[in-house]
């Protein structure tokens, strides 16, 4: 984070598990106050009590289902009522939907795009002006390596939604170059969280080589470390192995890259 990032207030979406809960732990350890949001209130309350007891920071829990299109407005209205200015926005909530395009019901796609794309953009839209006014802000949009690699069959909208976040974050970072607001798209590869249990692909992905797996704590410390550097790039890839894959795929002829994805997708995407 930028030099003065202590005693700030962070809003973390998807804070009831995985990477969101880890952002909460690491930001609290640095002395920041938190607002946690997700659907599972009890888990967030347990985490809130733990972090307040351990680090003496103020942690508030605002339950919300981001598939509800009114959620971003409602969250921000509640922040205003409680007089809370958000300095750090971590747009992290997310999940996967298995199958090819026509397997899930349309409603499942609609909810997915609401959580993964619309809510992210709307929270940035609503919280950015006050960050700009105060001349300080940090926004992390949690994307994925899936945004960087070519698309693959199955979970059709996942890579597309994450690619959207990468381009969106790049533009937002450039628009804010002189405002004191820093924007990062974080692109993790396979990380140990509940993500693959929720998606229903745990058995499939557990066959992936160990060296491809990242720990949530390493992913988040890399993200926060990168935010500290004045000249860090807006797109951040944790894990040396994934930075090598990104470089390798960038230079690979496109036809070969598609063939590779088509072959490998069976190990991490479910098409039915
Ligand atoms: N783990 C990986 O391998 C990996 C790799 C690349 C990118 N990512 C990305 O990392 C982010 C965090 O995922 P994770 O790995 O930490 O997964 P996770 O352990 O399953 O956590 C996902 C979080 O998102 C929240 N969430 C899901 N749907 C929501 C909704 N409708 N409204 C509000 N909150 C919702 C969940 O909370 P509730 O269920 O309580 O609502 C939970 O807190 C996601 O954006 C994911 O796409 C993960």
The closest-lying atom of ligand 1 relative to the alpha carbon of residue 162 is: 47
Beta-bridge mates of residue 90: 12, 140
CA distance 157 to 55: 39
Paired tokens of 207: 């066959």
pLDDT of residue 215: 98
Q: What pLDDT score was predicted for residue 230?
A: 86
Atom of ligand 1 nearest to the CA of 146: 6
Annotated catalytic sites, by residue? Answer: 158
Specify the residue with its C-alpha closest to ligand 1, atom 15. Answer: 195
Instruction: Tell me what percent of the residues of the chain surpass a pLDDT of 70.
Output: 98
Work out the percent of the chain whose per-residue pLDDT is above 90: 92
Confirm if 63 and 39 have CB atoms less than 8 A apart. yes
What is the average pLDDT across 46-69?
98
With a cut of 90, say whether residue 66 has pLDDT above it: yes
The full set of domains in the chain, from first to last, is 9-267 (3.40.50.720)
Lowest mean pLDDT of 84-93, 107-116, 121-130, 224-233, name the range: 224-233
**C-alpha 197 – ligand 1 centre gap (Å):** 11
For range 205-225, the mean pLDDT: 95
Give residue 7's pLDDT band: very low, low, confident or very high (50, 70, 90). confident
- As a whole number of angstroms, the distance between CA 260 and CA 39 comes to 37
Centroid of ligand 1 to alpha carbon of 2 (angstroms): 25
Mean pLDDT of 249-255: 94
* pLDDT, position 2: 57
Distance 178 CA to ligand 1 centre (A): 31
Q: Which two tokens stand for residue 100?
A: 């090819």
Are the CB atoms for 124 and 109 separated by under 8 Å? no
Distance (Å) of CA 193 to CA 183, 189, 200: 24, 12, 13
The burial class, CB within 10 Å (0-12 / 13-18 / 19+), for 206 is: exposed
Q: How many residues are given for the chain?
A: 272
Atom number of ligand 1 nearest to Cα 66: 32
- Write b or e for each residue in 237-260: b if 16 or more Cβ atoms lie within 10 A of its Cβ, otherwise e: bbbeebeebbeebeeeeeeebeeb
Any residues with CB less than 8 A from the CB of 46 and at least 6 apart, and which?
none
Helix (H) or strand (E) segment spanning residue 221: helix 216-228
Question: For atom 25 of ligand 1, which residue has the closest CA?
Answer: 14
Q: Give the SS3 label for residue 158.
A: helix
What CA–CA distance (Å, rounded) separates 153 from 55?
44
Per-residue pLDDT, averaged over 193-206, amounts to 92
Strand, coil or helix: 113:
helix
Average pLDDT over residues 175-193: 97
Q: What is the mean pLDDT of the chain?
A: 96
Say if residue 211 is exposed, middle or buried (CB neighbours under 10 Å; 0-12, 13-18, 19+). Answer: exposed
Q: How confident is the model at residue 6 (pLDDT cuts 50, 70, 90)?
A: low
Query: How far is the C-alpha of 164 from the C-alpha of 173, rounded, in Å?
Result: 14
Please list every protein residue whose CB sits less than 6 Å from any atom of ligand 1.
Answer: 14-20, 38-40, 65-67, 92-95, 115, 142, 144, 188, 190-191, 193-195, 198
Q: Is the pLDDT of residue 26 over 80?
A: yes
Q: With the C-alpha atoms ordered 18, 93, 239, 50, is the resulting torsion angle positive or negative?
A: negative
Please write the tens of the pLDDT for every residue from 122-161.
999 999 999 999 999 999 999 999 999 999 999 999 999 9
Q: Whose CA is nearest to atom 43 of ligand 1?
A: 14
What whole-number distance in Å separates Cα of residue 120 and Cα of residue 124? 6
Does the global pTM surpass 0.95? yes
> 3-class SS at 9?
strand
In the block, which residue shows the tokens 């888990």?
43
Q: How far apart are CA 42 and CA 52, in angstroms?
A: 15
Give the per-residue pLDDT at 105: 98
Gap from CA of 132 to ligand 1 centroid (Å): 28
Q: Report d(CA 72, CA 121) in Å as an integer.
A: 9
266 has pLDDT over 70:
yes
Read off the pLDDT of each residue in 223-242 and give the average, rounded to a whole number. 96
């Amino acid at each position: 984070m930028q030099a003065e990032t202590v005693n700030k207030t962070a809003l973390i979406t998807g804070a009831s598990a995985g990477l969101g809960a880890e952002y909460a732990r690491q930001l609290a350890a640095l002395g920041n106050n938190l607002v946690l949001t997700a659907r599972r209130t009890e888990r967030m309350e347990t985490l809130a009590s733990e972090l307040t007891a351990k680090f003496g920071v103020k942690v508030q829990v605002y339950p919300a289902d981001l598939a509800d299109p009114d959620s971003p407005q409602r969250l921000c209205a509640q922040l205003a009522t409680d007089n809370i200015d958000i300095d750090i926005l971590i747009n992290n909530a997310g999940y996967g939907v298995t199958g090819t395009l026509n397997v899930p019901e349309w409603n499942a796609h609609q909810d997915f795009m609401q959580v993964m794309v619309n809510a992210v953009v709307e929270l940035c839209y609503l919280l950015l002006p006050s960050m700009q006014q105060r001349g300080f802000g940090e926004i992390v949009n949690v994307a994925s390596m899936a945004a960087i690699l070519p698309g693959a069959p199955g979970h059709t909208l996942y890579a597309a939604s994450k690619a959207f976040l990468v381009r969106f974050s790049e533009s937002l970072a450039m628009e804010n170059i002189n405002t004191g607001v820093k924007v990062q798209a974080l692109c993790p590869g396979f990380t140990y969280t509940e993500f693959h249990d929720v998606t229903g692909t745990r058995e499939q992905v557990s066959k992936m080589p160990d060296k491809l797996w990242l720990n949530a704590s390493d992913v988040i410390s890399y993200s926060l470390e990168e935010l500290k550097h004045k000249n860090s790039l807006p797109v951040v890839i944790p894990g040396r192995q994934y930075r090598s894959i990104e470089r390798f795929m960038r230079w690979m002829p496109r036809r070969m890259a598609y063939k590779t994805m088509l072959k490998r997708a069976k190990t991490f995407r479910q098409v039915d």
